[in-house]
């Protein structure tokens, strides 16, 4: 065990282990969902980013993911071929192409996550707003930290 880890309290070490397990479980769950509708995990997570933040340019997807432009083009091509996204000229700047989600194609994906969403809501209801505020702060800080490491 590194000296930094040994300096942590037992609960801090336990939380680090739980976070690692949560990361693994999330990746495996997302991969199984992605494979069930013919995508790989990276394509699935890029699709999720487009769903939550789109429409996006390929450059914006590249910036977010840290993937090469060639890799992102391949992802968009596969998502478009599968019918999950479509490319359209940016009405503001005809030189740009925006990647849009295709809502009708996404309904069956949402259905696969419904049970997990319902279970997550049940877990959230076990905590007070004050406790959730602390958890949210922690998760947001972890997300920022991971995005910082992705950018390196």
Give CA separation, 5 vs 20, 23, 55, in Å: 14, 19, 42
Mean pLDDT in residue range 128-138: 98
H helix or E strand, kind and range, residue 9: none
pTM of the shown model: 0.81
| Domain 10-151, architecture per CATH | Orthogonal Bundle (1.10)
Mean pLDDT in residue range 12-19: 95
Question: How much is the pLDDT for 108?
Answer: 78
**Digit-coded pLDDT (tens) for 86-100:** 999 999 998 999 999
Q: Which residue has the higher pLDDT, 132 or 90?
A: 132
Q: How far apart are the C-alpha atoms of 30 and 118, rounded to whole Å?
A: 16
Angle between helices 10-36 and 41-53 (to 10 degrees): 90
39 pLDDT band, cuts 50/70/90, is very high
Domain boundaries, the chain: 10-151
Angle between helices 58-65 and 69-81 (to 10 degrees): 120
Tell me: pLDDT of 1 over 70: no
Question: How much is the pLDDT for 52?
Answer: 94
Q: Which residue has the higher pLDDT, 112 or 48?
A: 48
Mean pLDDT in residue range 144-152: 87
Question: How much is the pLDDT for 119?
Answer: 95
Beta bridge partners of 46: none
Mean pLDDT in residue range 125-137: 98
- Strand blocks (E) in the chain: 85-89, 97-101
Beta bridge partners of 89: 97
Mean pLDDT in residue range 91-111: 89
Structure tokens at 138: 């922690």
Q: How many residues does the chain have?
A: 152
Q: How far apart are the C-alpha atoms of 89 and 41, rounded to whole Å?
A: 27
The answer to whether the Cα torsion of 21, 126, 32, 63 is positive or negative is negative
Question: How much is the pLDDT for 145?
Answer: 95
């Amino acid at each position: 065990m590194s000296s930094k880890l040994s300096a942590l309290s037992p609960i801090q070490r336990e939380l680090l282990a739980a976070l690692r397990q949560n990361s693994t479980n999330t990746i495996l769950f997302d991969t199984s969902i992605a494979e069930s509708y013919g995508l790989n995990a990276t394509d699935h997570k890029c699709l999720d980013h487009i769903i939550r933040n789109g429409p996006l340019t390929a450059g914006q997807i590249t910036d977010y993911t840290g993937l090469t432009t060639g890799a992102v083009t391949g992802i968009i091509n596969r998502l478009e071929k599968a019918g999950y996204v479509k490319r359209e000229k940016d009405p503001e700047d005809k030189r740009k192409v925006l990647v849009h989600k295709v809502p009708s194609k996404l309904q069956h994906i949402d259905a696969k996550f419904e049970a997990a969403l319902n279970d997550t809501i049940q877990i959230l209801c076990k905590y007070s707003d004050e406790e959730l505020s602390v958890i949210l702060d922690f998760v947001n800080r972890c997300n920022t930290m991971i995005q910082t490491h992705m950018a390196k």
